Amino acid sequence: MTHPIPPGTRDILPDEMRELRRLSLALIDAFERFGYGEVATPTIEYEAVLARGDERGAPVAYRFFDESGELLAMRSDMTIPIARLVANRFAAEEPPFRLCYLARAYRAVRPQRGQMREFTHAGVELVGAPAPAGTVEVIEVLAAALDAAGLGRAVIGLGDSELYKQLLDEVGVEPGARARVLDELATHDHVGLEAELERAELSAAEREVLVRLPMLRGGPEVLDEARELGGEATERATRRLAATFDGLREKGIADRVRLDLGLLRDLGYYTGAILEVYDPALGHVLGGGGRYDELMGRFGRPLPAVGFALYLERLHVAQAKEGVA
């Protein structure tokens, strides 16, 4: 007789746990070296508090009532609980705040390899440090964390979440079509994108820009290629990316970063720089992050902020495939 556990959850046995523990310690060590202090928040929060930060964020897997009828939810990431924590607990203190965490989070996803409903996020939040310096610092921490995990071949993708919103405003697309175009970009359906652009009554030149821009990814040369496509919004986005990239060069970590004008993440709260992490040995994304300069304002403490989260279990699979002992 076996006793079931909910779909998308799992038990971890000693051999795996030992390796996960070692990986966790290496990551937290790396975060602490850069002055990021570890925090923990409740696994359950009031649903209304989580929703304040994230109207169209990662799908919440579990909601329930407590004995007094309050609606609770399991957090779907740590960024929003930490935004709440900073607003509550550091209300009188001077920014910046450097915090890190290693915590379980829960998402309503179809359970499969590389995507569980319960998973562990390891990450940092830097609150009160604007772009580009704050972004550069967090990427430096991310690169160090990947090194600490033994994933020297891992690559950090860097994009700009404002680019397409601003570009579509610039060419003047009506709101319905704008939302559909952004959705095609976020789901990376380029066939759908071309169809939507055709329907949106844009000029051939404007369509060309919107079709070619998301395919530009690589070294700093892609910024020149993007600029050649033209447009105010493209100019501004490439300037933001170039500023970040210059900072990364000064730190000597530019070779870890791939610029990517097609990078879009589906969480609602990102503004400006967005990050994704890849390893050549793994088909799934290892983690991601970016700037969320407006999120803290929703908790009454407007501060620019940036962070990332790595999927601990995926890092571990990548370690196994890369032959990291």
Partner 1 sequence: MRGVGGVAAATRRESGDGPLKLALPRGTLFAGTLELLDRVGVETRELRGDSRALVFDVRGLQLITMRPSDVPTYVEAGAADLGITGKDVLVEQRDRAVYELLDLRYGGCRMVLAGRAGDESLGESERRLGMMRIATKYPRTAERYFERTGRQAEVIDVKGSVELAPLVGLADGIIDLVDTGRTLAENQLEVREEIATYSARLIANRVSHKLRAPELDELVERIRRSTR
Report in angstroms how near the CB of residue 105 gets to partner 1 at its nearest: 16
**b/e string for 77-91 if b means 16 or more Cβ within 10 A?**
bbbbbbbbbbbeebe
- Each residue 9-28 as x (binds partner 1 by CB under 8 A) or -, in order, gives -x--x--x--x---------
Alpha-carbon distance of 80 to 60, in angstroms, equals 13
CB-CB neighbours of 69 under 10 Å: 6
Is cis: bond before 132, omega within 30 of 0? yes
Report in angstroms how near the CB of residue 114 gets to partner 1 at its nearest: 7
Q: Which of residues 183-212 bind partner 1 (CB under 8 A)?
A: 188-192
Q: Which of residues 284-313 bind partner 1 (CB under 8 A)?
A: 284-285, 313
Question: Taking CB under 8 A as the rule, does residue 56 contact partner 1?
Answer: no
Report in angstroms how near the CB of residue 316 gets to partner 1 at its nearest: 6
Alpha-carbon distance of 168 to 188, in angstroms, equals 17
Q: Which is nearer to partner 1, 42 or 59 (CB)?
A: 59
Q: Which of residues 157-176 bind partner 1 (CB under 8 A)?
A: 157
Report in angstroms how near the CB of residue 300 gets to partner 1 at its nearest: 35
Structure tokens that stand for 60 in this block: 């919440």
C-beta separation of 158 from 241 below 8 A = yes
Q: Which is nearer to partner 1, 120 or 244 (CB)?
A: 120
Q: Which of residues 263-282 bind partner 1 (CB under 8 A)?
A: 276, 278-282
Q: Which is nearer to partner 1, 133 or 211 (CB)?
A: 211
Contacts of 21 (CB under 8 A, 6+ apart): none
Q: Which is nearer to partner 1, 276 or 293 (CB)?
A: 276
Q: Which of residues 221-250 bind partner 1 (CB under 8 A)?
A: none
Q: Which is nearer to partner 1, 189 or 250 (CB)?
A: 189
Q: What does the DSSP assignment read for 260-319? A: ETT-----TT--SEEEEEE-TT-SS--EEEEE-TTHHHHTT----EEEEEEEHHHHHHHH
Total interface residues for partner 1 by CB under 8 A: 35
**CA 94 from centroid of its chain's CA atoms:** 25
Report in angstroms how near the CB of residue 283 gets to partner 1 at its nearest: 2
C-beta separation of 97 from 86 below 8 A = yes
Q: Which residues bind partner 1 (CB under 8 A)?
A: 10, 13, 16, 19, 110, 113-114, 116, 155, 157, 188-192, 215, 217-218, 258, 260, 276, 278-285, 313, 316-317, 320-322
